[in-house]
Amino acid sequence: MARLILFNKPYGVMSQFTDARSETARPTLSGFIDAPGVYPAGRLDLDSEGLLLLTDDGRLQSRIADPKFKMPKTYLVQVEGDPQQAALDQLRRGVRLKDGMTLPAEARRIDIPDLWPRDPPVRFRKSVPDCWIALTIREGRNRQVRRMTAAVGHPTLRLVRWRIGEWTLDGLQPGQWRDA
């Protein structure tokens, strides 16, 4: 039976078990997960937080991470500014990026989510409002969510992946993991 682990990756942690290329050690998955034989099914950038799935089954890993399967991934995104309907509609239709058009996304404004504080905190500016949106995509280009929100004029301030397919972050604090 395949093993599947749900992990709440903290900000600043690499989505891999070792950091051989860095002169200064950065936190990796090995500092949190002691489960031999599992590997991440996809990635989250160093400056992104949230759900990371790990498995010991290559076929399951491919089904989760490979864009051809179009598994939905939902992100809670704090953006700079106050996106109006036109910006959300643009995300819903797809956004032109340097590497081509994105697939249409689900995008909606949400209330401030009940999340853990980020360390370090997001920079607060009195003169620039911010807002939260829920964004669901079905592909996984490099830094795609950040590039999409920037393309519609609302740069990402904080990015938390909340859901991948049927699996959610519910009940997991940063650095915690559990078997699915």
User: Which residues lie across from 51 on neighbouring strands?
Assistant: 8
How many other CB atoms are there within 10 angstroms of residue 101's CB atom? 10
Q: Among residues 164, 175, 114, which one has the least CA distance to residue 137?
A: 164
* Three-state DSSP state, 135: strand
How many other CB atoms are there within 10 angstroms of residue 119's CB atom? 9
Residue in 19, 45, 56, 130 annotated catalytic: 45
How many other CB atoms are there within 10 angstroms of residue 15's CB atom? 17
The answer to whether residue 45 is catalytic is yes
Lookup: tokens for 20: 């051989």
Question: Among all residues, which ones are annotated catalytic?
Answer: 45
